[in-house]
Structure 1
Amino acid sequence: MNNNLDYQFGMYAPATDSIIINTGENSVLIIRCKECNSSVTFDDPNDVVYLYRLAKETPLLYAELAMKENGLQDYVDAMNEFN
């Protein structure tokens, strides 16, 4: 996948549990959070809230991490270190 996409706008769509990103030139990228979140191993199942908060508050960062190998896992691990 091209990690040099120009993310112009992104939003979380709760009805589909997806992040929709306008990448310019009339194209969009859709990231399905449930599928991405299922690849993360949680110490506590309630830690999934870290990812839902990230998706809702900073959808572009969620998308960036979701497209990196272990990006979301590293994020959850870091949140567990801080809390």
Structure 2
Amino acid sequence: MNNNLNFMFGMYEPTTDSVIVNTGENSVLVIHCKECNSCVIFEEPNDIVYLYRLAEEAPLTYVKLALKKNGLQDYVDAMNELN
């Protein structure tokens, strides 16, 4: 994956459960949260809320973590440590 993507704008789209990112002129990246979240191992099933809150409140951060190896897993693990 190209690590030099320029994320201009991003938003969570609840009807499709995806984050849609404008990456430049006439270029859009769609990240399907269900697919990305299915790769994460949760200590508790309700821990998935961490990822949905991230996608809704900070969609660009969600996408950057989703594109990084173990990014979403590391995020959930860190949230569990904090809580």
TM-score bin (small chain): over 0.9
TM-superposed CA distance for 1:25, in Å, is 1.5
Instruction: Report runs of 4+ in structure 1 exceeding 4 Å deviation.
Output: none
Partners of 1:23 and 1:3 in 2: how far apart?
12
SS at match of 1:19: strand
Residue 27 of structure 1 corresponds to 27
TM-superposed CA distance for 1:53, in Å, is 0.1
TM-score, normalisation: structure 2: 0.99
- Verify: 1:52 aligned to 2:46, yes or no: no
TM-score, normalisation: structure 1: 0.99
Residue identity matched to 2:6: D
Unaligned ranges ≥5, structure 1: none
Partners of 2:67 and 2:73 in 1: how far apart?
12
Partners of 1:30 and 1:8 in 2: how far apart?
13
Sequence identity, in percent?
73
Unaligned ranges ≥5, structure 2: none
**Aligned alpha-carbon RMSD (Å):** 0.3
Aligned residues: 83
The one-character-per-residue Cα deviations of 1:18-37 (angstroms, maximum 9, x if unpaired) are 00000011010000000000
Partners of 2:3 and 2:37 in 1: how far apart?
19
